[in-house]
Amino acid sequence: MLRRFWLLFAQAVTVLLALMFIVVTLKPQWLQRQGQFGKQLASPIVALREVAPGSGSGPSTASYADAAQKAMPAVVNVFSGKGGAQPPNPHAKDPLFRYFFGNPKNPQQQQPQDEPATNLGSGVIVSPEGYILTNEHVVDGADEIEVALPDGRRTNAKVIGVDPETDLAVLKIGIPNLPTITLGRMDQARVGDVVLAIGNPFGVGQTVTMGIISALGRNHLGINTFENFIQTDAPINPGNSGGALVDVKGNLLGINTAIYSRSGGSLGIGFAIPVSTARSVLESIITTGSVTRGWIGVEPQDVTPAIAESFGLEQRGTIVAGVLQGGPADKAGIKPGDVLLDVNGEEITDTTRLLNVIAQIKPGTQAKVKLMRKKKEMDVVITIGKRPPPPKQANTEDDNSDAQQEE
């Protein structure tokens, strides 16, 4: 019995030694892992660097979360219903769809729509009383306007007034506890400053994009009558119209209004109406229901190098190409061919500058105009008139236009 037990013991030891030999020969790391098992529980397999708890995103990191969280609650979605318009069917170009349901272009085969088409844009709540700034082209032709706040509340909005010449509109809603945005200062804005664009691009939901101020005072774009745009490379896309352009502290710097694009998408050149212009339009509309601007009744033209050479002029100021009979300029004695040099001491560099300077003068007041006539400088006094409203233009799209307003 003892001999049999010893034989079994010897065989077991032999098998264990054989297994040990195989492990040592073929998998020696198994033995190392077994020996360091306790150490592995206390330390990682490899040395890794990990941020300390609570030291992630904070004031010392390049984050604009605080600015975004400050401004986003005041940026709303604007839904403008267009009476009688029908939304295009997404399957209208599908041959199989037309085979079964007919050609949507045939009015007899169109199915009536329960709801009118909506045009999605953005807006900015600027006062606790419910005043909202947005673009005029967002609400143009709208029968009903609805506003959706980021907190989920929805309500109808009333159009207080519009200003097509700056593409601004003022809406008003009547719900309590409204978040408002803080107005920034354009005199402190500089090219190179970081800015955030907030809106609802392509209807995907409220979105924040980041860029810098690329230029200030952009004009001659052919977008509005009065142009003094902030140019930015913060991505702005359709649906951002009327949204906010804010600084790194969340203060409003401008109202996003247009992009430079040949395809309809953002190419890194967007334009916003400065908050200084927006505030002036807002206050005028709230006070009088419209925007009142100065006007002198002339047809100005830039003094180009060719004109300056032909008439022997210095390349400065703006030349009067025509004078409206009976207008303020005509009554003051201004004639075609005169070159306007400055108004109330403000230098006139081009037609855009002339329009902006005259527009800021209150109608009924007198302005001193320095002009050049037959190479002689002279001063005239003009009683500023009230700028007539612009004629209503048909709402057409130019597919070849580079500067496009967002819808």
Alpha-carbon distance of 80 to 116, in angstroms, equals 9
Tokens of 136: 């005029």
Catalytic, 241? Answer yes
Closest CA to 294 of 325, 327, 317, 316: 327
137 included as an active-site residue: yes
Given 80, 214, 241, 261, the catalytic residue:
241
Give the DSSP letter of residue 388. Answer: P
Please tell me which residue in 163, 167, 233, 338 is annotated as part of the active site. Answer: 167
Q: Any bridge partners for residue 246, and if so which?
A: 196, 252
Token pair, residue 407, equals 């819808």
CA dist., res. 296 & res. 320, Å (int): 11
Residues 6+ apart with CB under 8 A from 384: 294, 295, 296, 328, 358, 361, 362, 363, 364, 365, 366, 367
Output the CA–CA distances (angstroms, integers) from residue 19 to 23, 127, 322, in the order listed.
6, 82, 108
Q: Is 220 a catalytic residue?
A: no
Q: Which residues contact 315 (CB under 8 A, 6 or more apart)?
A: 303, 304, 305, 308
Pick the catalytic residue from 80, 137, 163, 266: 137
Q: Are 300 and 319 in contact (CB under 8 A)?
A: yes
Measured distance CA(164)–CA(391) in Å, rounded: 10
Rounded to the nearest 10 degrees, what angle do helices 28-35 and 2-26 cross at? 100
CB-CB contact of 191 with 214 (8 Å) = yes
- Catalogue the active-site residues: 137, 167, 241
